[in-house]
Amino acid sequence: MRTLSRNTAAGSAPQHAPAAPAAPPVIAVRDVRISDRVTDREIVHGVGFELTPGKAVGIVGESGSGKTLTCRAVLGILPPHFEVSGGSVEIDGTDIATLTPRQWTALRGTTVGAVFQDPASYLNPSIRVGAQIAEVIRVKKGVKRREARRQALELLRAVRLRDPELVYGQYTYELSGGMLQRVLIAAAIAVEPRALIADEATTALDVTVQAEILDLLAELRERTGLALVVVSHDLAVVAQLCDEVLVMRQGEVVEQGPTHSVLHDPQHAYTRLLMAEHEQYGLDKFLTPKEAS
């Protein structure tokens, strides 16, 4: 693995960028390869994208194509015997391979947050949900309990939970899947991360609730400049939210580009297949005409 000198100077622009973009990427994934150390098998064969503030990148593809492993590599939480065997991940210009566990803990949550498909398993069933969010805020922001509670309530309101005061005092088993996902999003954005990774975050939800959560993510992106990585097997989800899309199959990125061009003019047979599968769900309604006049 490459060893790079640690870039600790906050806000320093990457020196090697040829033409400096307007905003430096929050996350830069460069030709990342992921291997199983036990079997010595490469599972992800090179993924790359750059995520600047307010941008949304989508990753689609069949089950087992490496979407979740890619996200976990970015978050530095690969399963035990997996490793990044090639390429690099930079968060705020720092190669994550150079981070100590302590630095990782500081970065995870504060710069990059994540929400997954099964919100309940990321929350403690025996602690009221509001108190869990408040605790995150208290620890990460170093504010007093009372202020943490106020901010937690504000967040529950921001994720459009109807009765924040009531939800604050409830336990996970008292909440529906959609409510739990909102709570988890609230917890993930509590410390104002600059990027959020949503891995199948709406998959388990019914269509209406799914649409509401997607709206919420779009709104957060618009309002706070939150950058998004959205993983879904559902092209419609990506079409709705993302500027750029990566289509993965068996650990390869078979197609990548602006969502609009990929979905209007897919180059790879697999992308066309995915689109054909989705036609029945009404993907069309998310595709705005290229030249609306």
Ligand X SMILES: Nc1ncnc2c1ncn2[C@@H]1O[C@H](COP(=O)(O)OP(=O)(O)OP(=O)(O)O)[C@@H](O)[C@H]1O
Positions that interact with ligand X (CB under 6 A): 43, 61, 63-69, 79, 233
Shorter beta-carbon distance to ligand X: residue 68 or 94: 68
Residue 240 binds to Mg ion (criterion: CB under 5 A): no
Q: Within positions 20 to 59, which residues make up the interface with Mg ion, using CB under 5 A? A: none
Q: What is the DSSP letter of 120?
A: G
Of 35, 52, 65, 68, which lies in the binding site for Mg ion, with binding defined by CB under 5 A?
68
Which residue type does 177 have? G
Q: Letter for the amino acid at 292?
A: A
Which listed range, 51-59, 64-72, 104-112, 178-186, lies at the site for Mg ion (CB under 5 A)? 64-72
Calpha distance 245→263 (Å, rounded): 9
Residues 6+ apart with CB under 8 A from 35: 41, 42, 43, 82, 83, 85
Q: If contact means CB under 5 to 8 A according to the sort of partner, which of ligand X, Mg ion, none does residue 66 touch?
A: ligand X
User: Within 10 Å of residue 130's Cβ, how many Cβ atoms?
Assistant: 23
Distance CA 147, CA 158 (A): 16
Q: Choose between 93 and 251: whose C-beta lies nearer to Mg ion.
A: 251
| 70 forms part of the interface with Mg ion (CB under 5 A) | no
94 part of the interface to Mg ion, by CB under 5 A: no
State which residue, 67 or 221, has the beta carbon closest to Mg ion. Answer: 67
Q: 155: which 2 tokens?
A: 């967040």
94 is in the binding site of which of Mg ion, ligand X, none (Cβ under 5 to 8 A by kind)? Answer: none
Task: For Mg ion, give the closer residue by CB, 67 or 182.
Answer: 67
Let me know: does 156 contact 164? Beta carbons within 8 Å.
yes
CB of 251 to ligand X, least distance (A): 7
The nearer residue to ligand X, 149 or 233, going by C-beta atoms, is: 233
Point out which span in 60-68, 93-101, 138-146, 161-169 binds Mg ion (CB under 5 A): 60-68
Residues 123-152 that bind Mg ion (CB under 5 A): none
Which residues are at the interface with Mg ion (CB under 5 A)? Answer: 67-68
